[in-house]
Amino acid sequence: MNRDEHPEDGQEQSEVEQAILVGIEDLHGRSRRSMRELIDLTKTAGAQVIDLITQSRDSPDVRTYIGRGKVDELAGQVTATDADLVVFNGELTPVQNRNLVDALECKVLDRTELILDIFAQHARTREGKLQVELAQARYTLPRLAGRGVMMDRIGGGAAGAGIGVRGPGETKIDVERRVLRRKIQRLEDEIEQVRTRREVERRSRNQSGLPTAALVGYTNSGKSTLLNALAGSEEVAVRDRLFETLDPTIRRISLDEGREALVADTVGFIQDLPTQLVAAFRATLEEVTEADLLLHLVDAAWPAAYEQYEAASSVIAELGAAEIPTIVVLNKMDAVASERKVEIIESRISNTIRISALEGDGLDELRRRMSDLLFAHLIDVTLHVPYDRMSLMELLNERGHVSESKYEAEHVVVRAEVDEATLARVRDLVVSD
């Protein structure tokens, strides 16, 4: 999954960078899963993994992350393999980064920088580029000195320097702190404008009377495939890569009994998602917090499916969306090898449903479940709305769902589903419920 396999990304690289991955091994197996994920991240970024080095220790060394002796061993491996970069499976402090660059004399990245680089590659819209740029700038600010040393060691500037030093905009590695702070302020201002525009768009969508469901979950769990399947289109790009979707896409879908809803595809989550990205993408992730229903996708065929569910759930909680009604969608059932594993997941999680977005299995039941939850609070009523009170039609559309309107001589016969508060305002017009 290197960059040569995806020339459409528009950023050519004459030679694939060779990477050594380094991590700390704990006693619970979580780090082993995380290292497997780091391999996928590195491939997605466009590098080839040539070696893995792990060390068993309780906590990272404050100066070198893995300790002086292990650093000497790593330096020998860098020289022997002619590696271009070393990627650490954690977030390095500025001190650790500087010391490692001095010792290894090659490019040194951490997990956060790697994810930021992938986001930089996949940002397509102006909004996505702004958000990635802001995250990169916030991360770079306390690390300017170390990154300057790294660029001196590896040679060259941001253009063509490869993973970790490219960006969607004009970010420069050697920018002064004062200039970078000014840039952060500008980006924050522009993203605030994006947030304001999204709020206007949401209000406009609310006036349509359609509830909204947001697709959430671990990256590459099949959210875009499910959105296409529900919408009956292939408008959303689908690739088997991490973080393929950055910019939210919203589609109108049909449910049962003539009901409709809006479904928003959002950026995928990952274990230890960098806080810079959560903060920078808050404008986009508000599509999650403002949704009426969450569809939490889980790749049921993945060996660590439950751990991915937990990692995504922690991000959802961090966003303040844990209390939103949720259907846990066990996707990719067509590729599941162990029925017992799925049963164990179902025993731990409530309100699950099995589907295959790729094959279309289980989608009818999913639509029914979505309809039940999205419209459960509404009351089915028939009203006679006088023509001198037609402004109430806007209220009915905004706060409920109008399924039928029939214009007669003295009034409009309206069949609608409304909530309790709206019903109280139009009670005198109700002829049946």
33-43: pLDDT as tens digits:
788 889 988 99
pLDDT tens-digit readout, 58-89: 889 999 999 999 999 999 999 999 999 999 99
Q: Are 169 and 129 in contact (CB under 8 A)?
A: yes
What pairing do the DSSP bridges indicate for beta strands 249-254 and 411-418? unpaired
Predicted local distance difference test score (pLDDT) of residue 365: 96
Fold agreement (3-177, 208-374): yes
pLDDT at 50 over 90: yes
What is d(CA 70, CA 141) in angstroms, rounded to the nearest whole number?
Answer: 28
Reported for 47-50, long-range contacts at CB under 8 A and 24+ positions apart, including other chains, are: 47/2, 47/16, 47/17, 47/18, 47/19, 47/84, 47/85, 47/87, 47/162, 47/163, 48/2, 48/16, 48/17, 48/18, 48/19, 49/19, 49/20, 49/21, 50/18, 50/19, 50/20, 50/81, 50/83
* Cα torsion through 112, 113, 115, 119, rounded to 10: 130
pLDDT tens-digit readout, 351-390: 999 999 999 999 999 999 999 999 888 888 999 999 999 9
Nearest to 399 by CA among 361, 372, 373, 426: 426
Nearest to 374 by CA among 216, 252, 262: 262
Secondary-structure class of domain 3-177 per CATH: alpha beta
Pick from 34-38, 218-222, 231-235: least confident = 231-235
Report CA torsion sign: 317, 30, 99, 152: negative
| pLDDT (average), residues 120-126 | 77
Two structure tokens written together for 391: 């402004």
Predicted local distance difference test score (pLDDT) of residue 283: 61
Predicted local distance difference test score (pLDDT) of residue 260: 85
What is d(CA 166, CA 94) in angstroms, rounded to the nearest whole number?
Answer: 19
Average pLDDT, the chain: 82
Specify the higher pLDDT residue, 59 or 327. 327
pLDDT tens-digit readout, 158-193: 445 566 655 555 444 554 678 888 999 999 898 888
Specify the higher pLDDT residue, 320 or 204. 320
| pLDDT (average), residues 406-418 | 91
What's the pLDDT band for 237 if we cut at 50, 70, 90?
very low
Query: What is each CA distance from 383 to 262, 392, 405, in whole angstroms?
Result: 26, 11, 10
What is d(CA 100, CA 314) in angstroms, rounded to the nearest whole number?
Answer: 31
CATH: 3.90.420.10, 3.40.50.1980, 1.10.3720.10, 3.40.50.300. Which one for 208-374? 3.40.50.300
| pLDDT (average), residues 129-148 | 78
Domain ranges of the chain: 3-177, 208-374, 379-432
